[in-house]
């Protein structure tokens, strides 16, 4: 598809500087721009490429003032990153909407209910009593278990597994290899130094507009539900244990893990490899630095913590100054011990 700079500017409510009829037919990084490309500039680190890019049109912030002539046509908006994200979303929607129909190589149980405009790819399995909402896309080799409910316009990419009785909301995206509703890690110690498996009879509930990254796992509850609230974004390789609840619009980066029965508030942000112990509570708006370990509840909303075990981020940064000095301090302590020993001996 082709668009003019003027059409894009009108759509983004932007200010056009340059050639209104400049044609765009592809999306490009600003540093790799090509004729016909549409790029954006929001990070000052890339300012230099604005003057050399071959892209035909570049979206920039209204606050940015070029220091020298620019060959490309410019579209000035309040937030270039957000504006370009909007374009990417429309492009992605158009690309994904091209998937239609049900493959004859898919298996759909006769008792399953399939909505309108659904795509089901080759070797997908839809189990007894499952419900698939209008506009859902279920790609190749997905498994949708018994009594599973999938909302409208939800995407399951190849290899996603949704185990029995789990519920997925509207407009969710589950990337390749996601497993929803596998058994929680429940084992009871026995007197003979053995463990007895505790049946996991609950389910997982994922509300609307949740994104789940590739190979992330969300375990079913022992009883009741593991709940992922509306708008949550989970990166690749995240582990959510049984009976966890994650509040609205919380985001977690890759390899974060939350242990069983912990409650995470809304609008929280977890860096990569954050580990959270079980049966804790984390207040709304809390931010956790990457590779931190949460060993006790964080009850102060909007606090920022780092470290293992975690404490306030300000204290962590102050402490890190001394972390670097520990080898030298250790040497000084040894020297002081020698001098004390000598003084003691002289007495």
What value does the mean pLDDT take over residues 322-340? 84
**Mean pLDDT estimate for the chain:** 93
If one counts every other C-beta atom within 10 angstroms of the C-beta of residue 113, the result is 12
If one counts every other C-beta atom within 10 angstroms of the C-beta of residue 273, the result is 15
Please check whether residues 74 and 141 belong to one and the same domain: no
Please check whether residues 156 and 19 belong to one and the same domain: no
Is residue 113, in this structure, part of any structural domain at all? Answer: yes
Predicted local confidence at residue 11, as pLDDT: 92
Predicted local confidence at residue 83, as pLDDT: 94
Give residue 347's pLDDT band: very low, low, confident or very high (50, 70, 90).
low
Please check whether residues 66 and 114 belong to one and the same domain: no
Please return the burial class of 206, using the count of CB atoms within 10 Å of its CB with bins 0-12, 13-18 and 19+: buried
Is residue 73, in this structure, part of any structural domain at all? Answer: yes
Q: Indicate which CATH number applies to the domain containing 157.
A: 2.160.10.10
Predicted local confidence at residue 311, as pLDDT: 65
Query: What is the distance between the alpha carbons of residues 215 and 193, in angstroms, rounded to a whole number?
Result: 33
Predicted local confidence at residue 322, as pLDDT: 72
Please check whether residues 23 and 120 belong to one and the same domain: no
Nearest residue to 270 via CA among 284, 286, 249, 259: 286
Q: Indicate which CATH number applies to the domain containing 11.
A: 3.40.1390.10
**Tens digits of per-residue pLDDT, 234-244?**
999 999 999 99
Domain boundary among the residues 55, 74, 97 is at 97
C-beta separation of 138 from 153 below 8 A: no
Judge if the upstream peptide bond of residue 285 is cis by omega within 30 degrees of 0: no
**Tens digits of per-residue pLDDT, 4-25?**
999 999 999 999 999 999 999 9
Give Cα 34 to chain centroid, integer Å: 30
Region of poorest pLDDT, from 18-32, 210-224, 317-331: 317-331
Please check whether residues 33 and 77 belong to one and the same domain: yes
Which tokens sit at 154? 């939800």
Number of domains in the chain: 2
Q: Which long-range contacts (CB under 8 A, 24 or more apart) does 86-89 make?
A: 86/12, 87/8, 87/12, 87/27, 87/38, 88/27
CA distances from 189 to 200, 223, 239, 240 (A): 16, 19, 23, 22
Give residue 341's pLDDT band: very low, low, confident or very high (50, 70, 90).
confident
Predicted local confidence at residue 236, as pLDDT: 98
Query: What is the distance between the alpha carbons of residues 128 and 13, in angstroms, rounded to a whole number?
Result: 48
Please calculate the CA angle 307-187-271 and round it to the nearest 5 degrees: 25
Please check whether residues 88 and 221 belong to one and the same domain: no
Predicted local confidence at residue 326, as pLDDT: 80
Is residue 322, in this structure, part of any structural domain at all? Answer: no
Reply yes or no on whether the pLDDT at 182 is more than 70: yes
Please check whether residues 166 and 46 belong to one and the same domain: no
Predicted local confidence at residue 93, as pLDDT: 75
Please check whether residues 48 and 182 belong to one and the same domain: no
Region of poorest pLDDT, from 46-60, 88-102, 112-126, 151-165: 88-102
Is residue 195, in this structure, part of any structural domain at all? Answer: yes
**Tens digits of per-residue pLDDT, 289-308?**
999 999 999 999 999 999 88
C-beta separation of 16 from 70 below 8 A: no
Please check whether residues 69 and 138 belong to one and the same domain: no
40 - beta bridge partners?
59
Is residue 326, in this structure, part of any structural domain at all? Answer: no
What value does the mean pLDDT take over residues 309-319? 73
Predicted local confidence at residue 328, as pLDDT: 84
CA distances from 105 to 124, 140, 165, 175, 339 (A): 8, 10, 24, 21, 82
More confident residue, 33 or 324: 33
More confident residue, 170 or 344: 170
- Domain span at residue 38 reads 3-97
Q: Do the bridges between strand 15-17 and strand 73-77 make them parallel or antiparallel, or are there none, so unpaired?
A: antiparallel
Reply yes or no on whether the pLDDT at 312 is more than 80: no
**Tens digits of per-residue pLDDT, 222-277?**
999 999 999 999 999 999 999 999 999 999 999 999 999 999 999 999 999 999 99
Reply yes or no on whether the pLDDT at 346 is more than 90: no
Radius of gyration (C-alpha) of the chain in whole angstroms: 27
Predicted local confidence at residue 161, as pLDDT: 98
Q: Do the bridges between strand 107-108 and strand 119-120 make them parallel or antiparallel, or are there none, so unpaired?
A: unpaired
Predicted local confidence at residue 71, as pLDDT: 95
Query: What is the distance between the alpha carbons of residues 237 and 227, in angstroms, rounded to a whole number?
Result: 18
Please check whether residues 116 and 240 belong to one and the same domain: yes
Is residue 347, in this structure, part of any structural domain at all? Answer: no
Element (H, E) at 3: strand 3-4
Is residue 334, in this structure, part of any structural domain at all? Answer: no
Domain boundary among the residues 97, 122, 153 is at 97
What value does the mean pLDDT take over residues 108-137? 97
Determine what percent of the chain is predicted with pLDDT higher than 90. 81
Residues annotated as part of the active site: 242
Please check whether residues 167 and 308 belong to one and the same domain: yes
CA distances from 225 to 153, 161, 174, 182, 239 (A): 23, 17, 19, 12, 16
Please check whether residues 253 and 182 belong to one and the same domain: yes
């Amino acid at each position: 598809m082709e668009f003019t700079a003027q059409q894009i500017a009108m759509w983004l409510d932007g200010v056009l500087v340059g050639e209104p009829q400049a044609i765009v037919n592809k999306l490009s990084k600003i540093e790799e721009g090509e004729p016909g490309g549409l790029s954006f500039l929001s990070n000052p680190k890339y300012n230099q490429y604005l003057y050399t890019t071959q892209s035909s049109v570049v979206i920039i912030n209204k606050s940015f003032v070029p220091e020298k002539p620019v060959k490309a046509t410019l579209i000035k908006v309040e937030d270039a990153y957000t504006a370009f994200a909007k374009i990417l979303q429309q492009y992605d929607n158009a690309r994904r909407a091209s998937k239609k129909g049900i493959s004859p190589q898919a298996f759909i149980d006769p008792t399953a209910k399939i909505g309108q405009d659904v795509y089901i790819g080759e070797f997908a399995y839809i189990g007894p009593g499952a419900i698939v909402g209008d506009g859902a896309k279920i790609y190749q080799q997905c498994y949708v278990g018994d009594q599973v409910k999938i909302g409208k316009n939800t995407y399951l990419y190849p290899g996603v597994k949704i185990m029995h009785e789990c519920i997925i909301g509207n407009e969710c995206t589950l990337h390749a290899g996601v497993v929803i509703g596998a058994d929680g890690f429940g084992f009871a110690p026995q007197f003979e130094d053995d463990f007895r498996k505790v049946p996991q009879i609950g389910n997982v509930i994922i509300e609307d507009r949740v994104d789940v990254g590739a190979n992330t796992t969300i375990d079913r509850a022992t009883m009741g539900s593991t709940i992922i609230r509306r708008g949550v974004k989970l990166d690749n390789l995240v582990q959510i244990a049984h009976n966890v609840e994650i509040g609205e619009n919380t985001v977690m980066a890759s390899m974060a893990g939350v242990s069983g029965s912990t409650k995470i508030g809304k609008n929280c942000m977890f860096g990569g490899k954050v580990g959270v112990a079980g049966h804790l509570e984390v207040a709304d708006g809390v931010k956790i630095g990457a590779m931190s370990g949460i060993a006790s509840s964080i009850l102060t909303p909007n606090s920022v913590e780092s470290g293992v075990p975690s404490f306030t981020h300000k204290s962590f940064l102050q402490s890190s100054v001394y972390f670097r000095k520990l080898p030298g301090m250790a040497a000084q302590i040894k020297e002081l011990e020698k001098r004390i020993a000598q003084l003691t001996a002289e007495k």
